[in-house]
Amino acid sequence: MDNYNLLLSSNHSSSSNNSYLLQASHADPSVLSESQEEEKKQESYDERPDKEKKKSTAKIANKIRKPRFAFQTRSKVDVLDDGYRWRKYGQKAVKNNNFPRSYYRCTHKDCSVKKQVQRLSMDEEIVVTTYEGVHTHPVVKCTDNFENILNQMQIYSS
DNA sequence: CGATTTTGACCTGCGC
DNA sequence: GCGCAGGTCAAAATCG
């Protein structure tokens, strides 16, 4: 129970009804690599006067692992509005993917929740959104439950 | 004019 | 030790 990943895939193409499959898997090598939980080095930022000087990676308090949730949806758009404000801080191309992966971070004072949006190369309609961390602040929108979010997915994908 | 995106550089872990 | 792959930073550009 070190890490728990929630894979939520909404496949509305096959069945007429909105059948959401919610399953909990330990580790999915295809989308999630939880083998090495690299702790973020944003804990203590050194001044870093020069580029040559490598920041002292204080890997203290490296025991707590942040939960990660992977939402795999079928949608045309990458960004799924979950009610939070996200600031994109990076974008990298994945090896086996022709589509880049976007890195977002919650724009809050003390909320450092990260999320990354990846699109499968085989099926460009599949978008994997991986959330990392938990929000410690109220949402700016009314997100009662996932049903609301999933509803938006339906709207977007249709 | 402030907040956010873009984009290249940089860092770090891992495998060879 | 070096190169690759993934993740992050930060300055410039862009948007509202």
Q: pLDDT (tens digit, 9 = 90+) per residue, A94-120? A: 887 888 899 999 988 778 788 888 887
Label residue A84 by pLDDT band (50, 70, 90). confident
Task: Please report, as a single letter, which amino acid is at residue A146.
Answer: F
Protein residue closest to B3, using CA and C1': A87
Protein residue closest to C8, using CA and C1': A90
Scanning every strand, the nucleotide with its C1' closest to A87's CA turns out to be B4
Q: Where are the alpha helices (DSSP H) in chain A?
A: 146-157
Q: pLDDT (tens digit, 9 = 90+) per residue, A43-83? A: 333 333 333 333 334 343 445 556 677 777 776 655 667 77
A11 pairs with which residues across the strands?
A19
pTM over 0.75, yes/no: no
